[in-house]
Structure 1
Amino acid sequence: MTSKLPLGEELRARLGQPRRVRRLESSPRSRVWRAELAGVPVVVKRLVDAPEADDRYAREVAALGLAARVDPPVAPRLLGADPVERVLVLERLEHRRPGEDWVVDYAAALARLHAAGRDADAGALPVWSGPTLDDVASFLGLAEALGVAVPSGVEAELEGLVERLGRAAGRALLHGDPCPGNDMHTSGGIRFIDFEQAALGNGLMELAYLRIGFPTCWCSTAVPQPRLEAAEAAYHEAWRAATGTEVEGDMADACAGWLLRGDALVQRAHRGTADHLAEIPSRDWSWGTATARQRLAHRLEVVGRSAGEGGEPTGLGRLATAVRANMLTRWPGLRPLPSRRP
């Protein structure tokens, strides 16, 4: 059984011979085992041959190195690595079932992870990339396909949004996919795993997950308002404690950016393959806990509400509200996102 573990002689000599090896479930992009090395419980992860595998491996190693600065820890310790075979040996964490208020502790841990990034880390990871002008065209095309009139000035408003998000300053260490399931609730606090999509950017882009329904995740969830407010407050408090500064950026912009991204309606393997927003009028599809239309309707509601928080709703806010109303009329059976973590 140990022969199946992709652990080279150098790592075996340094960390010990493997015992009690067991294969774990994982994404198609990796193979994962639990084992003991010299009596130490570990997880061994190997990224399989696939497009961008080397990049994903490099991101994970770099992100784990940056996250290791945080104490108490917010990520597993990296015990060993083999870049040729794309193998990582990680501290094994024991996950406990999250409580009802899990999202508050999650948000505080996310802030502490983000705060691990520093100005001097520029180049250590790719810069976070936001929506594009093609995403703007797709969103406006969806509105037109549904028969919703686009208010004057909205296209320019969205182009400005794309420009702002593209130049948004940020040194935060972004996880890249901070989904329920990539957070381990341990006796020592929350730790994040699977940093294959890590980047540097503005932490609001990931704090927005809580409002916008965890857009890149199979378990899309609508956090109840009281817990959402408590979680966002916990994030800001933890960020201030770690950095001595206030969180910068605009939450409404961050949420609107996720609304535009049709690729955030499908799992990773299908991203970049089609204009997914253009498919919404003719078909719906399930992914994890929700359908594409459910996910989109939630995002539209959030953007419609947040775009008017400062006073008069913006053109985007009015458009988002109108598109959502059209969807609910066309598909009256459309249900809200689940409010409980699966």
Structure 2
Amino acid sequence: METITRPVEHALGTLLSDPVDLGGSRRSTVLRCRTADGDTVIVKAFDPEPDTLRGFTAEAAGLSLGLAGPELLAVLPHAPRPTLVMRDLGTAPTLADLLLGDDPEAVRAGLLAWARGLGRLGAGSVDSRERFDRLVARYATERPIWAEASWIADDAERLPPLLEAAGLTVPAGLADELARIGTAGGDRYPAFTPGDTCPDNNLITPDGLRLIDFETCGYQSVFLTAAYCRMPFSTCWCVFDLPEDLAREAEHAYRTEIVGHYPDLAQDAVWEAGMRQAAVVWTVDITVRLLPLSVEDRPMHRTRRPVGTVRQLLTHRWRKAAGLTEYPAFAATMDLLLTRIAAAWDNPPLPGYPALTVARPER
């Protein structure tokens, strides 16, 4: 603890006490500490590993933009563990807490606040790209931040050998289809995103949505962010079956905000084409990341319950994506995964979100 807190005390000019470990991750330690004047701050110390420091660079740059997230109080790139100090946003519930709770009205309000907040951030960030790039350069480490890495192309390259290793014949034309989709419009419609915009990476506060966790922030296609509404939550553990009307309502909330900067996204043909491309990108990503882990089924989160399993989530994604028939090789790939892999698993389908399926008392 002292290795983390001592450099922070020097930077803030105040003593810290009562550190509480908020969990963090395998990559970082996150503490809530009390200052000498009685306030609390959040201290996030990153492991000094090259891949982990990508997250430090991104989060330092993203929070320094001042467009979203907690106020950044200090950046300590040369501490024994590179560290960020942020203003404490308190203990408000996350959207994940609401989704796993028992109040459907709170879920709807929280989901729409989340979608609108992402849309406003995207629309308000387009002109800040150069400033973000300068901030990334200021805090740069050995490797590029995740948003600048070629992860979409890397996923497309990794998918065919992964399918072959699973005993499947790769449909002809798959590589060409994925190459045509590319970044799902990232060159035409880029906007800033915290990156990991999952239900547990935000707070639903009395003052509205507050986004947290900017380790994978950067500029990407607005469709890749909007897909989190439709799929829902493209890269997250907190995935259950979301009613389609609620998913569409959240997507509309995001779209309404982003159209203010990209007016041609008001055209349904443009929007739907981009959303289908984004669904392909995220489905390939989740397949590449999780199929190797599906040898033994496991919960999608170490501690949170209820939660779906790896096999349930993959089956859910493949089933939804099989309808993207304008990409016939991709759709054929989804059919193969469903009939040759998921059928053998024979796992139950993902249920609905607990808060949306709880029995309501009669009045």
TM-score, structure 2 length as denominator? 0.74
CA contact (8 A) 1:294 1:334 kept: yes
Equivalent residue number for residue 224 of structure 1: 243
CA contact (8 A) 1:258 1:264 kept: no
CA contact (8 A) 1:138 1:278 kept: no
In the TM superposition, what are the counterparts of 1:319-338 in structure 2 within 5 Å?
Answer: 319-336=333-350, 338=352
**Structure 2 residue 313 is matched with structure 1 residue 295:** yes
Per the TM alignment, residue 198 of structure 1 is displaced from its structure 2 partner at its CA by 1.1
Q: Which amino acid aligns with 1:239?
A: I
> Which whole-Å CA distance do the structure 2 matches of 1:10 and 1:171 have between them?
39
> Which whole-Å CA distance do the structure 2 matches of 1:133 and 1:171 have between them?
17
Pick closer, same or farther for the CA change 1:63–1:39 going to 2, 3 Å: same
CA contact (8 A) 2:230 2:248 kept: no
Pick closer, same or farther for the CA change 1:134–1:109 going to 2, 3 Å: closer
In the TM superposition, what are the counterparts of 1:298-313 in structure 2 within 5 Å?
Answer: 298-305=316-323, 307-308=324-325
In the TM superposition, what are the counterparts of 1:103-118 in structure 2 within 5 Å?
Answer: 103-118=111-126
Pick closer, same or farther for the CA change 1:337–1:137 going to 2, 3 Å: farther
In the TM superposition, what are the counterparts of 1:244-259 in structure 2 within 5 Å?
Answer: 245-247=263-265, 250-259=274-283
Residue of structure 1 aligned with 2:173, choices 129, 141, 153: 153
Per the TM alignment, residue 60 of structure 1 is displaced from its structure 2 partner at its CA by 0.7
> Which whole-Å CA distance do the structure 2 matches of 1:168 and 1:138 have between them?
23
Residue of structure 2 aligned with 1:91, choices 87, 94, 106: 87
Per the TM alignment, residue 251 of structure 1 is displaced from its structure 2 partner at its CA by 0.8
> Which whole-Å CA distance do the structure 2 matches of 1:279 and 1:89 have between them?
35
Measured against aligned partners, the alpha-carbon deviations of 1:12-42 in whole angstroms (never above 9, x if no partner) come to: 32xx333443332211222222123333332
Per the TM alignment, residue 204 of structure 1 is displaced from its structure 2 partner at its CA by 1.6
* Larger fraction in helix: 2
Residue of structure 1 aligned with 2:30, choices 32, 39, 52: 32
Mean Cα displacement is larger for which, 92-101 or 321-330? 321-330
SS across alignment from 2:246: helix
Q: Which amino acid aligns with 1:81?
A: V
> Which whole-Å CA distance do the structure 2 matches of 1:134 and 1:17 have between them?
46
Pick closer, same or farther for the CA change 1:245–1:75 going to 2, 3 Å: farther
CA RMSD of aligned residues (A): 3.3
Pick closer, same or farther for the CA change 1:18–1:246 going to 2, 3 Å: farther
Measured against aligned partners, the alpha-carbon deviations of 1:179-227 in whole angstroms (never above 9, x if no partner) come to: 1211111111111111111121212212212333434323233322111
SS across alignment from 2:19: strand
Alignment gaps of 5+ in structure 1: 267-276
CA contact (8 A) 1:20 1:36 kept: yes
> Which whole-Å CA distance do the structure 1 matches of 2:83 and 2:191 have between them?
26
SS across alignment from 1:194: coil
Pick closer, same or farther for the CA change 1:264–1:25 going to 2, 3 Å: farther
> Which whole-Å CA distance do the structure 2 matches of 1:133 and 1:87 have between them?
31
Mean Cα displacement is larger for which, 183-192 or 290-299? 290-299
> Which whole-Å CA distance do the structure 1 matches of 2:216 and 2:327 have between them?
34
Equivalent residue number for residue 272 of structure 1: none
Pick closer, same or farther for the CA change 1:26–1:338 going to 2, 3 Å: farther
SS across alignment from 2:44: strand
Pick closer, same or farther for the CA change 1:191–1:136 going to 2, 3 Å: same
CA contact (8 A) 1:176 1:195 kept: yes
**Structure 2 residue 201 is matched with structure 1 residue 201:** no
| Identical residues among aligned pairs (%) | 25
Measured against aligned partners, the alpha-carbon deviations of 1:100-139 in whole angstroms (never above 9, x if no partner) come to: 2122221111112223423452424554556556644554
CA contact (8 A) 1:184 1:191 kept: yes
CA contact (8 A) 1:176 1:198 kept: yes
> Which whole-Å CA distance do the structure 1 matches of 2:154 and 2:56 have between them?
29
Aligned residues: 318
CA contact (8 A) 1:213 1:299 kept: no
SS across alignment from 1:324: helix
TM-score, structure 1 length as denominator? 0.78
**Structure 2 residue 228 is matched with structure 1 residue 171:** no
> Which whole-Å CA distance do the structure 2 matches of 1:81 and 1:11 have between them?
9
Q: Which amino acid aligns with 1:178?
A: T
CA contact (8 A) 1:173 1:201 kept: yes
